[in-house]
Amino acid sequence: MEMQFEPISAKRDRPFVIAGPCSAETEGQVMATAKELAEQDIDLFRAGIWKPRTRPGSFEGVGKEGLRWLKRVKEETGLKVTTEVAKAEHVYEALKYGVDVLWIGARTTVNPFSVQEVADAISGMDIPVLIKNPINPDLPLWMGAIERIYKAGIRKIGVIHRGFSFHGETKFRNVPRWQLAIELKRNFPDLMMICDNSHICGRRDLLQEVAQEAMDLNYDGIMTEVHPRPDEAWSDAKQQITPATFKDLVDSLVVRQETTDDIEFLTHIDDLRQQIDELDDDLLKLLGQRMKVAERIGEYKKRNNIAILQTSRWNEILDQVMGKATAQGLSKDFVDTLLRAIHQESIDRQEKVMNRQEA
Ligand code: PEP
Ligand code: MN
C-alpha cells in the first residue's frame, strides 16, 4: 500500500521531544510536571489516563477526570498534550477535552480489532496519531496498524519504538531490536520515528545511552517518562526521571545530520565503504569455501557411516572461536549468533550430501 505521511509538526534542527509522567496521578503532580517541562521547550506533554497494566490490581489510571488536568496543562502552559487511547470511548473523551495527539499503546497495536476500533472512531478527522510497536517483534503487525489508521484518512502519523517483550534475562525491560525499526523506516522513509527510551530501558540509568543510540540511528525524537518524584510514581517508578534530570539528558544528546555535501567527508566515507564492500566479498568467499569443506566432511562421514553432529567437536569449535573472538574485539553475543548460523548451514549442507540419492 502506497502511503504518504504528513509531518506531525514542523521539522526543527533538534529532536522532537515528548515528556511527561507514565500516568496522570493527581492534578498537582500533572501540573507540577507540566510547568517544569514547559520551561524546557518540549514539543508534547504525555500522560497516561487509561493504563493498560499487565496484571489487575495495579493502578489502572485515573480515567477521564485526568483529561480535565490535561486541558489545564494546555491552557496554563501552552504545551500540546498526548495520551494513550485503546478504544472508541477513549478517543471520544480525549477529543472532547482537546487532546492534541493520540497514541496507540503496544498492547493495543497487537490487536487488529482494537486498532480498527480506534481507526473507525477517528475516521476522517485531522488528528495526529503515534503508533507504538506491538509488544512482540512482528513488523507486519506494526505496519498493519499504521495502514488501518492511514485508511481512516489520518495522514499525520508517527511511530514510537518502545522495544519488544522477551522471555529471559536481558539488560532491557523490552529489547530494542533496532533492526526491526530500521526495517520499518526502510518501508516508510518519511514516517516520523520516536524512541521511547523509558519502556525500552525500564531503569533510569540506561535512558541516556538508548536515547543517544536513537539519535545515532537518525530517529526524529524521544518519548521519556518524567515525574516530579520518580520513586513515588504509581506506575513505572524505576524508569521515570525528574524534569531536571530530563533536561540534562536532552542537553547531552549529540544530534547527527543525515547527510552532508562536504567533499572531504564524502571522499573519506566512500573509501571506508569500499573497504567494507571488499571485506564483505572476502567474508562471503570464505564462507563459501567453508561450506565446500563441510560438504566434503559430509561425504566422508557418509562413506564411513558416521553421524553429522559430534557434540564434543561442536563444543570444541565454540570454545576455540569464542576465545579468539575477544582477542579480535568481537562481542561474545555477536560471535555466538554468527557461529550458530554458520554451523546450522554446515549441518544442512552435510545433511543434503548424506541423503543424496546416488544415481
Ligand atoms: C506508556 O507509555 O506508559 C505505556 C503503557 O507504554 P507501552 O504501550 O509502550 O507499554
Ligand atoms: Mn509507562
Domain match, 136 and 163 both:
yes
Are both 187 and 273 inside the same structural domain?
A: no
Is residue 199 within 6 Å of ligand 1 at its C-beta?
yes
Tally the domains of the chain: 2
Task: Indicate whether residue 24 lines ligand 1 (CB < 6 A).
Answer: no
Computed on alpha carbons and rounded to an integer, the radius of gyration of the chain in Å comes to 25
Q: Is the CB of residue 47 below 6 angstroms from any atom belonging to ligand 1?
A: no
Closest ligand, as measured to the CA of 106: 1
Q: Determine the distance separating the centroid of ligand 2 and the alpha carbon of 22, expressed in angstroms.
A: 4
Q: Based on the fold, state whether residues 270 and 248 are members of the same structural domain.
A: no
Q: Is residue 67 part of a domain?
A: yes
Residue 209 lies in a domain: yes
Q: Does residue 146 or residue 356 have the better pLDDT?
A: 146
- Does residue 5 sit within a domain? no
Is the pLDDT confidence value at 328 over 80? yes
> Domain end: 198, 224, 252, which one?
252
Which residue puts its alpha carbon closest to atom 9 of ligand 1?
106
- One-character DSSP codes across 314-349: HHHHHHHHHHHHHHTT--HHHHHHHHHHHHHHHHHH
For a ligand 1 pocket test, name from 18, 84, 239 the mutation site with the most ligand atoms within 8 angstroms of its C-beta: 84
Same domain flag for 246 and 280: no
Within a domain: residue 146?
yes
332 and 275 together in one domain: yes
Q: What is the CATH number of the domain that holds 278?
A: 1.20.59.10
Nearest atom within ligand 1 for CA of residue 23: 3
- pLDDT tens string 45-81: 999 999 998 888 889 999 999 999 999 999 999 999 9
Give me the phi and psi of 129, to 5 degrees please.
-130, 130
| Cell numbers that stand for 51 in this block | 493504563
Half-sphere exposure of 331 (CA within 13 A, CB side): 3
- Name the residue of 175, 196, 197, 210 whose CB sits within 8 Å of the most ligand 1 atoms, as the mutation to test its pocket: 196
* Nearest CA-CA partner of 47 in 27, 57, 39, 58: 27
pLDDT tens for 188-206 read 999 999 999 999 999 999 9
pLDDT of residue 71: 98
Q: Is the CB of 22 under 6 A from ligand 1?
A: yes
DSSP state of 58: B
- Alpha-helical regions (H) of the chain: 27-38, 65-77, 88-96, 106-109, 112-122, 139-151, 178-187, 197-201, 207-216, 243-252, 263-304, 311-327, 332-354
What is the atom index within ligand 1 of the atom nearest the CA of 108? 8
Same domain, 210 and 267: no
Q: Is any ligand 1 atom within 6 A of the Cβ of residue 162?
A: yes
Cell numbers of 243, please? 524534569
Q: Do 192 and 123 fall within a single domain?
A: yes
Residue 1 maps to a domain: no
Beta bridge pairs of residue 160: 132, 194
260 bridge partner residues: none
- pLDDT attached to residue 11: 74
Binding site membership of 106 for ligand 1 (Cβ less than 6 Å): yes
Predicted TM-score of the model (pTM):
0.83
Q: Which residue has a Cα nearest atom 2 of ligand 1?
A: 22
C-beta neighbour count of 202 within 10 angstroms: 17
> Closest by alpha carbon to 80, among 98, 103, 92, 53?
98
Q: How far apart are CA 239 and CA 226, in angstroms?
A: 9
Inside any domain, residue 313:
yes
36/98 same-domain check: yes
Q: Is residue 257 in a domain?
A: no
83 occurs within a structural domain: yes
Determine if ligand 1 sits within 6 Å of the CB of residue 134. Answer: no
Query: Considering 252, 280, 298, which residue would you say is the last residue of a domain?
Result: 252
Flag whether pLDDT at 259 surpasses 90.
no
The stretch 138-160 carries a mean pLDDT of 98
* pLDDT confidence of residue 258: 78
- Are 237 and 269 within one domain? no
pLDDT of residue 83: 98
Q: Which SS3 state, helix, strand or coil, does residue 300 take?
A: helix
pLDDT value at residue 358: 66
Q: Is residue 282 located within the same domain as residue 244?
A: no
**Are 284 and 236 members of one domain?**
no
Look up the domain containing 210 and give its range.
16-252
Closest CA relative to residue 219, chosen from 17, 20, 22? 17
Query: Are both 218 and 310 inside the same structural domain?
Result: no
For ligand 1, pick from 33, 103, 107 the residue to mutate: most ligand atoms within 8 Å of CB: 107
Residue 112 has pLDDT above 90, yes or no: yes
